[in-house]
Amino acid sequence: ITYYGGMDSIHSLSRVFTKQVSKGITDKINQLFNSAEESGNITSFAISAGLIDPKNEFKSLQLATFVLSQNPNISSVNIATPDGSKYKASREINGAVLQRSDIRTKKNIIRKYYSEEKELLQRNKDSASSFETGYDARKRPWFKKAIETQASAWTDIYESSSDQQFVYSYAKPIY
């Protein structure tokens, strides 16, 4: 095979491929942003319309799991309350869903796990901790960002408190 112009042909092909790859990456990023916003809107509607009481552990975990199930690009959905309690559904590497609640009571913080996968429950044990050492959603970057902006926003990259992975989050305050 012979190409006229040699290097000019290679540069031309390179520009075409670079544009195609860039468009593919841009499309994926936009898809991720749009799906996060759509998931935030679903959660916001369910809570704002009174369909879900965010202090009801079962219903909040059910909502978080539903939103997670509708979007394969999202790794977890958190619903937090003004007192710092949190309900979370997360997708594990094998596709299984792990639900977690961190409920702040008058005495301590109760952490509970739920999953259909027994192995996940063996690795993640229910516990109780003090206010000093226990989970407080109000201290997390995504919670702070939602309060600070009073609007939907993306966080900067931060370290996840549960698995020490670097993540970024879409946060939306719900009133």
Task: Give the Cα separation of 173 and 61 in Å (integer).
Answer: 18
- Interacting residues of 86 by C-beta distance below 8 A, sequence separation 6+: 78, 79, 80, 100, 101, 102, 135, 137
Least confident range of 81-85, 86-90, 165-169:
165-169
| Backbone conformation region of residue 3, classed left if phi is above 0, alpha if psi is from -120 to 50, else beta | beta
On the question of pLDDT at 2 being above 60, the answer is no
Mean pLDDT of 42-67: 94
On the question of pLDDT at 1 being above 60, the answer is no
- The amino acid at residue 68 is L
Per-residue pLDDT, 3:
53
Strand partners, 86: 80, 102
Q: Is the pTM of this model over 0.85?
A: no
Q: Which residue has the higher pLDDT, 78 or 163?
A: 78
Mean pLDDT of 147-165: 86
- The amino acid at residue 108 is N
Task: Give the Cα separation of 171 and 148 in Å (integer).
Answer: 11
Terminal CA-CA length for the chain: 65
- 3-state SS assignment for residue 123: helix
On the question of pLDDT at 123 being above 90, the answer is yes
- Please identify which residue in the block is written with the tokens 């970024």: 168
Mean pLDDT of 34-57: 91
Residue 51 pLDDT class (50, 70, 90 cuts) = very high
